[in-house]
A = this chain, B = another copy of it.
Amino acid sequence: MNTTASPFPSAVQRRNARAAKRDAVLRTAVQTFNERGFHQTSLDDVAARLRISKPTIYHYLGNKDQVLLECVTIGLTQLLEAAEESRSVPGTGADRLMSFLVRYAEINMDDFGRCVIRTADEALAPESRAQFRARKRQIDLAMRALIESAIADGSLAPHDPKMLAFTLAGALNWPARWHEADGTQSPQEIARHLVAILAQGFLPR
């Protein structure tokens, strides 16, 4: 807490304030993109929600493409961190994979994760698109690696890692499309439920 609420902010406070404003722009932008879609959202819309003007957005973030790139990068970074964290989960390879999958699904129901899923590659300018794709490939590879080591220790059935990764990703990305924040089930519950279904398969055991 800031006990000395002086009207003359220090250099550090000013840097923080700037970062906070930048974040606020991104949060508002991503929420608006998720609600109305990127192409249906003008930067004037985003600015209006924040009660600022469009040039102010340009002051904090380059152009509209940059705004979107930042948003998806935040989501992708969260996913990548989840992959790293799950590597140190105790138990079998399958335990580690499932812990990652649950987290993966949860993030995809969050603001920035939602944006990652809902953003089509073509919406970004060529250079940003390349970055976007590269990051997504990284996450795909991380998932495959978890799958491979779980197969190696026998805790997973021997599947084609690539195909399994696509299947899992698809199922766990989809809530980004249908899950509404006000649903009866929490993202956690949904995430666990989906992963359980994928683990067991729909045929009786």
Contacts and interface: CB of A to CB of B under 8 A. Distances in A.
Range of interface residues on A (Cβ < 8 Å): 35 or more
**Dominant SS at the A interface?**
helix
Contacts of A166: 174-175, 178, 194
Contact of A40 (B122, B164, B168): B122
A126 to B, nearest CB: 12
B167 A171 contact: yes
A199 B199 contact: no
A173 B175 contact: no
A205 B202 contact: no
Contacts of A199: 201-203
A55 interface: no
A24 interface: no
A198 B200 contact: no
9 contacts: A37-B123, A155-B203, A159-B197, A170-B170, A170-B172, A171-B174, A198-B198, A200-B201, A200-B203
Interface of A: 36-37, 39-40, 94, 97, 118, 120, 122-123, 147, 154-157, 159-160, 163-164, 166-175, 178, 190, 193-194, 197-205
